[in-house]
């Protein structure tokens, strides 16, 4: 039996510039650790700069030569996204990998600074806008990638175009499922549009199975403690294992774009990364197109692809 893919399988990443959103903890931090250990320059695009700095220090303690940097990004604020993109473009002329990792899960009903429901606005619209603004740097970088994190929750998700802002009723988990399905539809639709323009950049989606991370803190960012933490450790796989699909999607050389990567265990809940064929059941071209049009209208970000 062939060895299963793990962090030791990551090829050398020297010379690559990688942006990871929400990389100060959880899956994003472990993905950043793995990529920095292989020589990439990793930019921590985070809402809380102090937490980001603390996270980079963790990496540098383990990997003294790691090249890591913190830049402020609040995905719930379009002006912050624009500021981040402008600051990045002043300092860098290329972008090898963009990992759309950050997310909030089941917060009480609230809106982003721009009036979007928090989960749809942060998890999907924020990343849609960020990717669009950074697309020029991605397109001019050979073999660049966009990796977008979805979730097992996407399997039961539905895009309610008549109530995207939650004003006609809100329940946390259905809106989380909606945002994660939106992540998956966006990643697949982006790949179709990149392919149609014959761009070298590819788009891949992934999900971590069920991993023990702080996303369950309902948007507060606080650490999960006590009995819940103990239960999570027993029932869920570790954040290190949960990050493997992200790392596979970001670095596995055999991927062509349009794949959905998840764990290989029962129910795709835990295990080592493989291509998850369920994407073919979940992707609906008509809904993806409508979501794209709505996302451009809401964010004001219009993608420009090569002719």
pLDDT tens digits along 134-153: 999 999 999 999 999 999 99
Residues 33-60: tens digit of each pLDDT: 999 999 999 999 999 999 999 999 999 9
CB 92 within 8 A of CB 19: no
Which of the pair, 307 or 67, is modelled with greater confidence?
Answer: 67
The answer to the question of residue 307 being in a domain is no
CB 247 within 8 A of CB 40: no
Question: β-pairing, 41-46 with 17-21?
Answer: parallel
Residues 68-92: tens digit of each pLDDT: 999 999 999 999 999 999 999 999 9
Neighbours of 163 (CB within 10 A): 14
Q: What is the CATH number of the domain that holds 47?
A: 3.40.50.720
CA pair distance 8, 277, nearest whole angstrom: 25
The answer to the question of residue 305 being in a domain is no
Residue 247 lies in domain: 14-298
Residues 79-136: tens digit of each pLDDT: 999 999 999 999 999 999 999 999 999 999 999 999 999 999 999 999 999 999 999 9
**How far from chain centre, in Å, is Cα 36?**
17
Q: What is the mean pLDDT of residues 164-169?
A: 97
Active site residues: 176
The answer to the question of residue 158 being in a domain is yes
The answer to the question of residue 213 being in a domain is yes
CB 137 within 8 A of CB 84: no
The answer to the question of residue 306 being in a domain is no
The answer to the question of residue 275 being in a domain is yes
pLDDT over 50 (residue 221): no
Q: C-alpha angle with apex 73: 70 to 75, nearest 5 degrees?
A: 150
Looking at the DSSP bridge assignments, the partners of residue 147 are 99, 204
- In this predicted structure, what is the pLDDT of residue 236? 78
CB 211 within 8 A of CB 236: yes
**Number of folded domains in the chain?**
1
The answer to the question of residue 303 being in a domain is no
Q: What is the mean pLDDT of residues 166-181?
A: 98
- In this predicted structure, what is the pLDDT of residue 2? 60
Q: What is the mean pLDDT of residues 297-302?
A: 98
The answer to the question of residue 28 being in a domain is yes
């Amino acid at each position: 039996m062939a060895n299963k893919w793990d962090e030791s399988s990551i090829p050398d990443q020297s010379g690559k510039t990688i942006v990871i959103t929400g990389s100060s903890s959880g899956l994003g931090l472990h993905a950043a650790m793995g990529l920095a250990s292989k020589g990439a320059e990793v930019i921590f695009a985070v809402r809380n700069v102090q937490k980001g700095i603390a996270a980079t220090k963790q990496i540098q303690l383990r990997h003294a030569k790691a090249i890591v940097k913190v830049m402020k990004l609040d995905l719930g604020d379009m002006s912050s996204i624009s500021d981040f993109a402008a600051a990045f473009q002043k300092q860098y002329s290329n972008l090898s990998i963009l990992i759309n990792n950050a997310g909030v899960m089941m917060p009480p009903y609230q809106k982003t600074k721009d009036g979007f429901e928090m989960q749809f606005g942060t998890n999907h619209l924020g990343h849609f806008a960020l990717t669009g603004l950074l697309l020029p740097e991605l397109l001019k970088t050979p073999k660049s990638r966009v990796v977008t994190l979805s979730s097992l929750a996407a399997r039961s998700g539905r895009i309610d175009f008549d109530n995207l802002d939650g004003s006609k009723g809100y329940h946390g988990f259905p809106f989380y499922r909606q945002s994660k399905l939106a992540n998956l539809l966006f990643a697949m639709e982006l790949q179709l549009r990149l392919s149609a323009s014959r761009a070298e950049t590819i788009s891949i989606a992934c999900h971590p199975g069920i991993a023990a991370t702080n996303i369950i803190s309902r948007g507060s960012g606080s650490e999960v403690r006590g009995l819940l933490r103990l239960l999570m450790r027993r029932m869920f796989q570790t954040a290190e294992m949960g990050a493997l699909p992200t790392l596979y999607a970001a670095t596995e050389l055999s991927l062509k774009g349009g794949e959905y990567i998840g764990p290989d265990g029962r129910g795709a809940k835990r295990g080592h990364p493989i291509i998850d064929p369920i994407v073919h059941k979940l992707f609906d071209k008509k809904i993806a197109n409508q979501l794209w049009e709505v996302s451009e209208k809401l964010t004001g970000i219009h993608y420009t692809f090569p002719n």
